[in-house]
Structure formats: structure tokens, C-alpha cells
């Protein structure tokens, strides 16, 4: 596994200052989350913590009826990974879709 570069509880909000293209990156994550939300009624995201925070990978999940997070998909931008990345490389914190929508609005000055 690669050396961890970001805090173990990093979120999109905490890495926002380091994102290479904040609006585009957050928008793409929201698109991936929206597909999950449409299918499962909710969506959460956590970011990869092994990089520099410029363009972090992200993992979308949903809460099942028992309250457990189930991975919907792991992504490099809009491209899903064919194999599941090392589970230790993900942040311990997730953001709900509503929080990501709010963050995108803030980036856009809304």
C-alpha cells in the first residue's frame, strides 16, 4: 500500500484547498453519487487518502436497511475501478450527498 499522505479522516471539504479543479472534481463525484442515490435512495462518499489531495479517488456507498454502508463503487474521476482498491486507503469519514451538494454550491458562490 502507498504511504498515507492525507489525514485518516479527510473529506472533500478538508481537501478542498488542495483540489486541482475543485468545481469539476466535486461535480463529478456528485454525478457518481446521484446514480447511487437514484438506485438506493441515499449516497455517501469518502476519499482516498494515499495521494496528495489534488485529485483524490472516491468511493460511493449507501446505507442498507440495516444501517450498514455498502460500497456502490470506487472511482478515479468518472471511471470505476475494475478491482477494489486496498480498503486501508480510504478515509474513515464519509460525506452525505446533501453535504456534497452544499459544498458544490459554496464553490459556485451560491
pLDDT of residue 84: 66
Q: What is the pLDDT of residues 86-98, one digit of tens each?
A: 777 899 999 999 9
31 by DSSP, 3-state: which? helix
Question: Is 45 within 8 Å of 34 (Cβ atoms)?
Answer: no
Question: Largest Cα–Cα distance of the chain, in whole Å?
Answer: 39
- Residue 55 CB neighbours (<10 A): 18
Q: Which of 102, 37, 23 has its CA nearest to residue 73? A: 37
Q: Are 56 and 6 in contact (CB under 8 A)?
A: yes
The pLDDT, as a whole number, for residue 85 is 66
Q: Domain residues of the chain, as ranges? A: 12-107
Decide if pLDDT at 1 tops 50: no
pLDDT of 61 above 50: yes
Helix or strand or coil: residue 39?
Answer: helix
Residue 45's pLDDT is what? Answer: 98
- pLDDT tens, position by position, 15-39: 999 999 999 999 999 999 999 999 9
First and final C-alpha spacing in the chain: 39
Give which of 63, 96, 77 is closest to 19, Cα–Cα: 77
pLDDT attached to residue 8: 93
> What pTM was computed for the model?
0.89
Top pLDDT among 74 and 51 is at 74
As a whole number of angstroms, the distance between CA 2 and CA 49 comes to: 9
Amino acid at each position: 500500500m502507498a504511504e498515507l499522505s492525507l489525514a485518516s479522516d479527510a473529506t472533500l471539504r478538508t481537501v478542498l484547498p488542495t483540489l486541482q479543479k475543485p468545481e469539476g472534481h466535486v461535480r463529478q463525484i456528485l454525478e457518481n453519487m446521484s446514480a447511487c442515490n437514484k438506485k438506493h435512495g441515499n449516497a455517501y462518499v469518502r476519499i482516498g487518502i494515499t495521494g496528495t489531495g489534488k485529485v483524490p479517488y472516491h468511493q460511493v456507498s449507501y446505507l442498507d436497511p440495516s444501517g450498514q454502508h455498502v460500497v456502490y463503487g470506487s472511482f478515479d474521476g468518472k471511471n470505476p475501478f475494475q478491482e477494489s482498491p486496498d480498503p486501508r486507503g480510504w478515509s474513515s469519514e464519509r460525506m452525505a450527498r446533501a453535504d456534497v451538494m452544499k459544498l458544490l454550491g459554496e464553490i459556485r458562490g451560491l
